[in-house]
Amino acid sequence: MNIPKNLGNILVLAGLSLFLLIILFPLGIVGLNSVKSQEEFTQFGPFAFPAKFAWSQIQEAAQKLGFFNRLWNSFLISLPTTLLATTLSLLNGYALGIGRVRGKVVFLIFFMIATTLPQESMVYPLYYIFREIGLYNTRCAVILILTAVHLSFGTYLLATVLGTFPRDFIDAAHIDGAGKLYVLSHIVLPLIMPTLSVLFVFFFIWSWNDFFLSLIFLISEKVQTLPLGVLQMRGQYITNINLQSAAALLLSLPCIIFFFLFQRTLTKGIIASGLKG
């Protein structure tokens, strides 16, 4: 019996294809039901192909969702959060990974524990703090909280990566009279840019898809994000599944577009991180 040499590659490809189908299946069902009338959904179920595409449902969902206002709010929260979390993670990782900080193991343990804390445990103290300082029901509150949440993971990751950074480059730069900021911006940053780009993409997607913290700290429709708008598609007694599907599709589209725009950067960053490890 002849076993092909590339049998392993075929099995890996088959497994990845199966996982891809599993991941894309819910998105396909959402897209299918978003262009299907409610009568067809009730009569034929969620898996039947629509006889006629009801594009008006997407327009209705966008109108009820307040799509462009919520899209702008999501952007105003996600981008500053991502920039702040990435920048602060880089500075912390540089200090703990390369710098000579006393007790840095304790700091790393602290950040590692912080990544495991559930968001629900932080709601009550943060609610009272932001209400007292007048930031409750503002985008700034969500930006600060999400930045802190992402910062713990980003700091731990970059401190671990920079802990293996070659000291010869840094020592040579110090001998030439380079300062810490120069070393960070001209030596360290270009070499870890792939890892930093992956972190940037992850932070943006996590911030964009945040639901729980935004639900607690954004009670006014004027400042609410896209994930919260999906709740408006639910009625008190009857839920229009087709409108909810259309709203979910509108929510997913910006994230999908963002992923395709940065797909090459993400792939290069993951490959470079894997090669360094």
Is 149 among the domain residues?
yes
Is 34 among the domain residues?
no
> Between the CA of residue 110 and those of 115, 117, 138, what are the distances in Å?
9, 11, 29
For the domain that residue 143 is a member of, what is the CATH number? 1.10.3720.10
Is 151 among the domain residues?
yes
pLDDT in tens, 78-87: 999 999 999 9
Distance (Å, whole) CA 222 – CA 49: 37
For 163, the domain range is 61-276
pLDDT in tens, 178-202: 777 888 888 888 888 888 888 898 8
Please check whether residue 147 is in contact with residue 84, taking contact to mean a CB–CB distance below 8 angstroms: yes
Is 17 among the domain residues?
no
pLDDT in tens, 3-33: 555 777 788 888 889 988 998 888 888 888 8
DSSP category for residue 57? H
Structurally, the chain folds into a number of domains equal to 1
Is 28 among the domain residues?
no
Is 141 among the domain residues?
yes
